[in-house]
């Protein structure tokens, strides 16, 4: 009686499976990532390890192909959505594990920030904001401001270049919309930004004292790759907010070269004047200047003029 293994081999040969299997294995082993990894770790693998680890190598190859053609976190086709594979040798055999990708890490960080910082917001309108829909008028310089904002969104490099933007102008001229357009353009580059309404955030920080979450909230904001503080200067300022909250955030971001984008109704000089006075009625010019030294040299000032679009 013919052994079953011989019968199975003969059947596979007749059906052409063996040839197709060999082609599949050849395509896996010739893939650059697989080939380079096997070359680096060849001395750590026992005889037959490659054959035994073929399933892991095949999954590794396909998962990285998905990552190279990333369709976004929500449509990730990997076995573990949002995770990238890593090969490693163990006891002479090929093993594989998964690590979260940059999009997954950013999404998890975003969820944590949303749970912690209630004053951050991304409305349905802001999710649709784009530079194509920014109204420009060469007579009021809006086109110049939009161009500089677009260039920032296209070239910003957190951790390497800490230069940000300072958008100022009167009520309703579209400062926040342009900030949202920057955030969406950054998202296209897989760069995370945190958009925070400054007056609400500072009110939230006062409540955090009783909750014992001050340091957590400050950490969530100060470490954002790109921080966007909307409507800075509209808040009622206190010494603690200015020095221990805003000052601590900006000092960290300056040191770590993390860009910050601001919107305000005030220009630099007017904001400094605002920061010099607290709700206690005192005047502290030097402390206001200290904050401005963490804003003015690290931003490009963009003036946004035009009609109040909220009144139309």
> Which of 105-114, 119-128, 175-184 bottoms out in mean pLDDT, i.e. has the lowest?
119-128
Q: Classify domain 104-311 by CATH number.
A: 3.40.50.300
pLDDT band at 109 (very low <50, low <70, confident <90, very high): confident
**pTM for the full predicted model:** 0.66
> Which of 19-23, 105-109, 148-152, 266-270 bottoms out in mean pLDDT, i.e. has the lowest?
19-23
Q: How do 93-100 and 260-264 pair as beta strands? A: unpaired
pLDDT of residue 1: 41
| pLDDT 10s digits, 132-144 | 888 776 556 788 8
% of residues, the chain, pLDDT over 70: 85
Q: Which has the closest alpha carbon to 274: 221, 202, 210? A: 202
pLDDT band at 309 (very low <50, low <70, confident <90, very high): low
pLDDT of residue 250: 97
The 8 Å CB, 24+ separation contacts for 29-35 are 29/57, 31/61, 33/60, 33/61, 33/64, 34/60, 34/61
Average pLDDT over residues 150-161: 96
| pLDDT 10s digits, 9-31 | 554 455 566 677 777 788 888 89
pLDDT of residue 3: 53
| pLDDT 10s digits, 264-294 | 999 999 999 999 987 666 678 899 999 999 9
Average pLDDT over residues 109-119: 60
pLDDT of residue 155: 96
Q: Are 112 and 220 in contact (CB under 8 A)?
A: yes
Average pLDDT, the chain: 85
The number of beta carbons lying within 10 Å of the beta carbon of residue 29 is 14
Residue spans of the domains in the chain: they are 31-100, 104-311
| pLDDT 10s digits, 38-54 | 999 999 999 998 889 88
Q: Are 301 and 267 in contact (CB under 8 A)?
A: yes
pLDDT of residue 137: 67
DSSP one-letter code for 168: E
């Amino acid at each position: 009686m013919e052994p079953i293994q011989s019968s199975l081999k003969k059947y596979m040969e007749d059906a052409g499976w063996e040839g197709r299997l060999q082609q599949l294995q050849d395509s896996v082993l010739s893939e650059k990532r697989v080939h380079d990894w096997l070359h680096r770790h060849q001395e750590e693998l026992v005889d037959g390890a490659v054959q035994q680890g073929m399933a892991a190598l095949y999954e590794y190859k396909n998962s990285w192909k998905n990552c190279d053609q990333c369709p976004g976190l929500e449509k990730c086709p990997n076995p573990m959505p949002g995770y990238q594979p890593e090969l490693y040798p163990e006891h002479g055999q090929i093993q594989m594990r998964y690590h979260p990708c940059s999009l997954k890490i950013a999404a998890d960080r975003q969820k944590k920030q949303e749970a912690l910082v209630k004053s951050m917001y991304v409305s349905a309108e802001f999710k649709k904001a784009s530079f194509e829909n920014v109204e420009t008028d060469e007579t009021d310089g809006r086109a110049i401001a939009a161009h500089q904002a677009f260039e920032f969104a296209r070239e910003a490099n957190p951790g390497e270049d800490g230069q940000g933007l300072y958008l100022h102008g009167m009520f309703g001229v579209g400062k926040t919309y342009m900030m949202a357009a920057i955030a969406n353009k950054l998202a296209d580059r897989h760069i995370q930004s945190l958009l925070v309404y400054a007056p609400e955030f500072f009110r939230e920080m006062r409540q955090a004292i009783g909750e014992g979450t001050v340091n957590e909230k400050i950490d969530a904001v100060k470490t954002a790759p790109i921080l966007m503080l909307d409507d800075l200067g509209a808040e009622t300022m206190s010494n603690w907010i200015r020095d221990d909250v805003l000052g601590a955030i900006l000092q960290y971001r300056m040191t770590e070269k993390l860009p910050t984008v601001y919107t305000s109704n005030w220009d630099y000089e007017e904001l400094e004047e605002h920061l010099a006075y607290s709700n206690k009625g005192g005047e502290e010019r030097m402390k206001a200047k200290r904050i401005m030294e963490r804003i003015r040299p690290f931003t490009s000032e963009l003036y946004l003029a035009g009609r109040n679009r909220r009144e139309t």
